[in-house]
Amino acid sequence: MNNSDRILIVGAGFTGAVLARELAEKAGLACHVIDSRDHVAGNCHTARNQNGILEHVYGPHIFNTNFTDVVAYLQRWSEWIPHVNRVKAVNRHGVFSLPINLHTINQFFGKTFSPTEAAAFVASLGDSSIKEPANFEEQALKLIGRELYEAFFHGYTLKQWGVEPRELPASILARLPIRFDYNDNYYKTAHQALPRDGYTPIVERLLDHPLITVLLNCPFEPAMRSDFAHTFYSGPIDAFFDHRFERLGYRTIYFEKTEGKGDLLGNAVLNYTDTTRPYTREHEHKHFSPWETHAHSVVFREFSKATAPDDIPFYPLRLARDRELYALYEESACSTEGVTFVGRLGTYRYLDMDQVIGEALDTAAAWLQARHAGSPPPKFSVPRKK
C-alpha cells in the first residue's frame, strides 16, 4: 500500500475514531491513529474503579442531541439507556433545580407564582436601563436582574472561566436558560441517553477494523506527516504551529475524589453557583449508571483553572485576544497543505459530543467527495450547528 492510501489521524477521541472508521470502511484507506494519552476516547474516557463503579474519568458526559443521524450511528456501537440529567444548584440560599424553572423561582422568592405570573415577575426584575448589553453580566442583569444573576450565574461563571462575567461576551447568555414551568430536565434535546458500558468501549469498537492501527502514548511530531497522504489533526491548533503567535487561552479542570459507602450526594451532579466554595460542581458517578447497584460510591469535586503548558485543554476561552490569535492560526492552517483541522481543539470552538460526532461524519464525507472529484480537501471540520 503506497502513501496515497495512508491517512494519519491525530487524536483517538470521538473525532479521530469516527473519521478513521468512515475512511477505512467506505474508502478502504489505511488509517494510522495516534494519541499522546495511554487510552482512547479522549475526554469521554470511562473506566471501572476498584469497586466496579464506571467513572467518567474527565468529568460527566451525558449524550443528548436532536441529530437523528448521530443517534442512529451510535446505536451501531453500543446499547444506550435513556437518561434524564437533573442538576441541582447549591448556593448560600439553599438547594435549587437547574436550569432555573418555575420551582426554582417560587422556592427562591418564597412565592407560588403561576407560569404567567413568574414570567411577568422575572421581567420586572430586569434592568431596563441596559438597552444594548455589552457583556455577559449586562445581558444577565437586563434579563433577570441582580438577585438571580448573583445567586446562579456570577460565581459559577467566575470560577469556570477565571474572569469576571463582564469580560465575557453577551452572546454567551443570549438565550437565557430559564423556564416558566416545572420541567427540571437539564437538556431540551429529543434524545438523551448513556451507553450501558461507558464511552470507551464505543471508541474501541469504532477503531476495531483491519485497516485501522492505533498507537497510544505517541505525541504528534510534524515529521510524521511525510509518511501519509493526508493528516486529520484534532489537537490544539496553536500547538500544531508550535505556538508561533502565542498560546491560545483554554480552561482546564481537575478533580479531588472522595470515596465512601452508600449515597454521598443524592444526585448525579450538584453545581455550586456562588463563591462560597472554590469548586464548580460535584458529581457522584454511580448515578451515571443507575441500572447498576453499588454499595460503594465515589464523588469527583471539580475545579477549573487556566491551562498551563502541561495541562489537558478542555474549554476554548475565546476572549478578544484569543479570537485575534485564532484568526492568525486559521490563516496559517488555510495555507498548510495536506492537513484538515478537526474537533474542538483543532477548530478552537466549544463543541458538544453530538456535534463532534456529527462533524466527523460530515467531514469524512466531504473529504472523500473532494478526493473523488480531485478537488481541494476541507481545511477544517464541516460545521454542524445545534
Dump pLDDT digits (tens) for 131-146.
999 999 999 999 999 9
Max Cα separation, the chain? 72
> Facing residues of 95 across strands?
90
Q: Which of 69, 181, 292, 350 is the catalytic position?
A: 350
Per-residue pLDDT averaged across 157-179, rounded?
86
The answer on pLDDT for 176 being more than 80 is no
Report the distance separating Cα 274 and Cα 45, nearest Å. 29
For this structure, is 179 an active site residue? yes
For this structure, is 246 an active site residue? no
Q: Which of 281, 301, 318, 344 is the catalytic position?
A: 281
Query: Model's pTM, two decimal places?
Result: 0.95
Q: Which of 22, 274, 284, 302 is the catalytic position?
A: 302
Going by the DSSP 8-state scheme, the letter that residue 249 receives in this structure is P
For this structure, is 349 an active site residue? no
The total number of residues written for the chain in this structure: 386
Express each pLDDT in 275-304 by its tens digit.
Answer: 999 999 999 999 999 999 999 999 999 999
E strand residue ranges, the chain: 6-10, 30-34, 46-48, 54-56, 63-65, 80-82, 87-91, 94-98, 191-195, 212-215, 230-233, 250-261, 269-272, 281-284, 296-306, 315-316, 339-341
Looking up cell 463543541, which residue turns up?
A: 351
Of 224, 304, 311, 228, residue with least CA distance to 271: 304
* CATH number of the domain located at residue range(s) 3-45+197-245+318-373 in this protein: 3.40.50.720
Report the SS3 class of residue 143.
helix
pLDDT at 175: 61
Q: Which of 38, 175, 221, 310 is the catalytic position?
A: 175
Type of residue found at 204: E
The domain ranges of the chain are 3-45+197-245+318-373
The answer on pLDDT for 102 being more than 90 is yes
Q: Which of 179, 318, 344, 384 is the catalytic position?
A: 179
261 backbone dihedrals φ, ψ, rounded to 5°: -115, 155
pLDDT at 348: 97
Per-residue pLDDT averaged across 161-180, rounded?
84
Express each pLDDT in 307-316 by its tens digit.
Answer: 999 999 999 9
Report the distance separating Cα 381 and Cα 366, nearest Å. 9
